[in-house]
Structure 1
């Protein structure tokens, strides 16, 4: 297990939420913002790493940023200035994501932190802690050499090969990484989470696979990003082919992930270039990862029928096609589709039964292909298609070859009795030097000799088998070119050194620093300040060289601690005081109180007011606007001075109420001051009975009532006149239209109910007249209308005519019409 080395942490990270989490212990030191240093949470990249990288790309030149950081990491710098990149603090989250999840070479970085000044808003420094296997420049560089060496081997023939498409490069690198790496189920150290673990140790977990695949794709110019799921506790890659995004999970395609050891040379392709729907169909069933890939063009890629690696020989790619459950297999040229070699084989598990399927593996050695069957390994010529048996390992009965590959001059065979378990696995190695034509060569730049390290000249090697063909001659170490430096004694402030040597060619030095002796300090006492006098802070100086080691700073005078002396406001007759101040410590007057003169009265003149019947008056007087000063003197009420009067007209007496003469009324004292004498109640004009009653200006009468009887109900001295104006008296029967004239000359019209024609009696002629009026053939006077409306329905109808007719012949009692 890797234990981190504790490095002095000067600054810390801010706002790292995807890879680093800001804690509540963050604090502010002056203008420098500081927080704790944290390590990344594995399998916990942001859901959208693509977006994080794009944000950093919009802020800085990422190639320059990456190269700069990698150079500093290789020197194990613990404090790395980054202010030159002008990265805002708000983007610190994305900067850390870029390092954790987009720089596979940063495998030796254990933790990160950032610092910034609050006034600038940009990150100033990156502070780094390194893993224990990379915590010196020599260790980190040695790891990087192994990293590059293994990566270069996997990239051999692919990097710089313009004949290969993006899909072909991604496929070949997918297979080479899966074949050359085994899943580490121990999970006991940090290395297995890195690309270094996958390359140098050939052991990794999913994050190590993904970061290694990322690096290989970056080397061949294929854009890709890290993708992870907390729910699955798993990480993989999103790869861009032809500008479209696809999921690639090398871990789950490495058969060793599912079956453990015993699967050399075998690799699946179910998780290669899948859409989000496609990758979920293979078991990535969570919902917390990047779902950008939607293109389904490769969801049913032909490579899914192959369970061994795709092999590059020259410019051709070969693969072994073995349909699921079939014993048949074919070696095909991927580019032409042509079958190079076909065979059928059984992997027996007893005398009479065999395992279902074909378990052959395909690899290459030099210019030749190698493939395995149940008991043997064959060499296959790509040019002729001829297969020659190379090796038949010894094995117990019913054991078979279930895995095979070729690496570092050895054929590796996994021999087992069961393809689904590593319980009885035996892994055997067979040394085999591939015969190579050295048809492709490459020049390897030599290493110059140093002072203590030998060098080597440029060399030419075979691109396929890496055999040295020429050059590569060792060059002896040069030795140091020494320069003498004279000693210097240390002083209080300055370091010193003994005589030493340096080298003009390298950083060799015999320099040994002598520390400064330091000052012999004595204390200069502090002087306390007063209200008006300054003071001094405590200071220190060296008793040897008199250098001031702690300067006495002037402490400002404390100043008065003022308290207010409140003002006293002046009045009309008394003086006041202004506001003043004095010191509560030394009692010094800091602001004198001044006398404020008396204000004098601010007079208001009031006019004389005459007394009335209800209110007193006053003489002219003076008051003060500010105080209660007054010369007011009241005058008595004058009961005869009425100012608010009105003329009240006469109220005539009625038959029910007394009346009053006109008068003058005072609205203030609420009484009449003249007139308003009482008038007695008037006698009634007409007294109602069951046979006659007054109704407005009409008197309604039952038929048969005589003039004498009618006058007995009227006011004294009233008379009845007919239409011609003649007086009607005694027992004469009145008729409709006649009038009752009262002593005051007022007139009331007589109405004989049912007598519409005004002859004083009820007859058929009256009924006929009412009927004609009901249908609009006769126009009646108001008196005639009232006489005809005997049913009291407010209009003349045939019903009225019928009632009148019945009364004329004695069938209707007309006296009911007045009830």
Structure 2
């Protein structure tokens, strides 16, 4: 039996297409599962690319609308998020799920004030595009409003460092230094790989003063862009999992990375300037890579600026800049931070940070500068020093007491190695080593900048009134009073007492606790869920008795009709392959009302699955195959096409010989013998022709090396249609003694075709071809004088 060595998987493809070719109906609108930004995606540059600077692969689809009702996608979504919308209609934009996914997070990351929105949402889709977005919030609307006030208050602290007469790059420097000093990198959670979501926000950096890189970047953007009107973008790199800023000054963009200029672990008061106002080339040299270059930062003006060689804040006041040169310990005053003339106001001994009692010291001055009122304040190794800007004179402000020193002071040397002013307090770290690789918190001490006295309470406390359900912040307090916690809600009516602070002058007095009485009235009742007293029906309202959660007064409220809540189906008929069905009539189980008539469901149609071949197809004649319906079991017989003539090179095998098609066709085809598979065969007969799948092929050639090194062959008979014998065809057939050539058509015998066969071999050929074949079987073919060609 002749067999083909090709075409084995065609039946499987047909079955796959039959089974998988069905379609599934999709409902008109579906709510997707929650879509959440993963940690792996957090720093993907596409989420930080500003709108209008797309590379064409994200954002609004080619078929989508750029604006709807005069607003872009970003404007629409940001506006609704600020309103704490539960559902945002984006159907007019006709955007795909992927486009909405990208642009929703671009909106969050381009608007730092949206810190109250989680990096997750759900969406309604109609199968073609997204119709609505369901945001996820991490704060209620009222809490978010109060949180924004806290963020703005922190931003105002930073803006106290800025003056209207500053250049934009000077404003960028002042905010950079403030943020690095007053925000601490969330290193503890970073090392534990569990950074909370808030540390990725501007709220974390400004309100809680703890953040990671994207929190720093959003906070810097919020102050520079929202408060100072200086264009400031957030850029990111997926490859280094990091975010920083790109700021525009004088029509040029520059890189600013506050995070990398704030040391970890945090050292209070310390801020470097190695990543401030750099070009693309400059920021690359500090280790940044992989950001999306939608804006080029080509200007290198600031790349070589040393910014006063200061590792602390650079302070601006009344037209002058002040900083401490950490190498020399000099307090410097200059009228131009870039090119001004320096005046030394005070010198700190840079060798005073002792390493041990033997006289060794740490190289440099670990002194950090702050401004408070009309004073510059900075730490030396053993004390806090002030410099009066009005009098232009230095003086000692504070010397830590012995009680503040660790118990092992006799054996170890301690220095002040960190310093800042926060909330009218001197904050300083007394530690043995300026380079501690751990949290500095256990070494930090605090004391008032100026020693304050306790004020006398006023004879009469203010009379206050409030509204139940509102926070204490809704009550405007008289001067000198502040609420201890302004977010506390007034939840009871009557004369209620709440804690507050009283301080007539923060510069002179301490804050003292006072309990203020508030007359709380219930202006708008807020009802509880109540108790149902009359059950509603499908057509009639019920009643429930509710109480105000603030004052306790009761009322009777209607309960909406149930609106046919218990639904049933009747007259449902399942369609078959050939008969129609019926979807069923919807009715109310409670009142038996018909809610909706059903519809005719068309027949499903047969779903055919391949069973097997009934009749094999040949090259010239078709066959048949059987299919079965997977639903009803009906069978059908399908005619299959003839396979057609195999292509050139197709292999067949018959008995111990393998053939290759050399001339294809259903008639007049030819094959060549390419190999023998019978390793033990002693006699080989090469036929005149072979028949495969109804097609007859003449055997017209013996390919090169077809029988090379066959160890057992003794005799070969070559059929009448062979015209050529390839090189090395019988080379190495050491036992081959008899070759009978029946063909009169041999035109060529290849090199070494009969080399290394029996020395006394005999070649028999047709009488009329004896002379011609003696010429073909020459010495090049391997013929030896001991061999003989005969008729």
TM-score in terms of structure 1 length? 0.53
Which of 383, 386, 405 pairs up with 2:390?
383
Aligned-pair CA distance for 1:516: 2.0
| In 1: Cα distance, 2:34 partner to 2:476 partner | 45
Tell me, yes or no, if the aligned pair for 2:430 and 2:443 is still in contact at 8 Å: yes
Which of 583, 588, 591 pairs up with 1:542?
588
For 1:129-528, list aligned pairs within 5 A.
Answer: 129-130=136-137, 134=138, 136-137=140-141, 139-141=143-145, 143-156=147-160, 158=162, 162-185=164-187, 186-187=189-190, 188=194, 189-219=196-226, 220-255=228-263, 257=264, 260-261=265-266, 263-284=267-288, 292-303=296-307, 305-313=309-317, 315-316=318-319, 318-322=321-325, 325-334=327-336, 339=343, 341-345=345-349, 346=351, 347-350=353-356, 351-394=358-401, 395=405, 396=409, 398-422=413-437, 426-433=443-450, 449-453=466-470, 454=472, 455-457=474-476, 477-481=520-524, 490-492=536-538, 496-500=542-546, 513=559, 516=562, 518=564, 524-526=570-572
TM-score in terms of structure 2 length? 0.54
- Higher relative contact order, structure no. (Cα contacts within 8 Å, ≥ 6 residues apart): 2
| In 2: Cα distance, 1:319 partner to 1:239 partner | 24
Aligned-pair CA distance for 1:300: 1.8
CA offset digits 1:453-486 (Å, max 9, x no partner): 3533488899xx99689xxx99854422569999
3-state SS, counterpart of residue 114 of structure 2: helix
For 1:594-613, list aligned pairs within 5 A.
Answer: none
Q: Which residue of 1 aligns with 2:26?
A: 29
Change beyond 3 A, Cα 1:509–1:277: farther
Aligned-pair CA distance for 1:242: 1.7
Change beyond 3 A, Cα 1:221–1:150: same
Change beyond 3 A, Cα 1:53–1:420: farther
Kindly tell me the number of residue pairs found equivalent between the two proteins: 502
Q: Which residue of 1 aligns with 2:700?
A: none
Q: Which residue of 2 aligns with 1:103?
A: 111
| In 1: Cα distance, 2:167 partner to 2:70 partner | 25
Change beyond 3 A, Cα 1:80–1:206: same
| In 1: Cα distance, 2:504 partner to 2:286 partner | 38
| In 2: Cα distance, 1:274 partner to 1:496 partner | 70
For 1:553-572, list aligned pairs within 5 A.
Answer: 553=599
Q: Which has the larger radius of gyration?
A: 1
Change beyond 3 A, Cα 1:77–1:319: same
CA offset digits 1:304-329 (Å, max 9, x no partner): 6111112344x545331415x43444
| In 2: Cα distance, 1:363 partner to 1:511 partner | 62
Aligned-pair CA distance for 1:414: 1.4
Aligned-pair CA distance for 1:511: 5.7
For 1:115-130, list aligned pairs within 5 A.
Answer: 115-117=124-126, 123-130=130-137
Aligned-pair CA distance for 1:532: 15
Tell me, yes or no, if the aligned pair for 2:253 and 2:298 is still in contact at 8 Å: yes
For 1:403-802, list aligned pairs within 5 A.
Answer: 403-422=418-437, 426-433=443-450, 449-453=466-470, 454=472, 455-457=474-476, 477-481=520-524, 490-492=536-538, 496-500=542-546, 513=559, 516=562, 518=564, 524-526=570-572, 537-542=583-588, 545-553=591-599
Which sections of structure 2, spanning at least 5 residues, go unmatched? Answer: 1-23, 61-65, 453-463, 482-502, 508-515, 606-791
| In 1: Cα distance, 2:570 partner to 2:387 partner | 92
Tell me, yes or no, if the aligned pair for 2:308 and 2:324 is still in contact at 8 Å: no
Tell me, yes or no, if the aligned pair for 2:205 and 2:211 is still in contact at 8 Å: yes
Aligned-pair CA distance for 1:382: 2.0
3-state SS, counterpart of residue 273 of structure 1: strand
| In 2: Cα distance, 1:355 partner to 1:276 partner | 35
CA offset digits 1:195-253 (Å, max 9, x no partner): 22222322222122112212222222121222122222222111111221111111110
Superposition RMSD on alpha carbons, in Å? 4.7
Tell me, yes or no, if the aligned pair for 1:364 and 1:370 is still in contact at 8 Å: yes
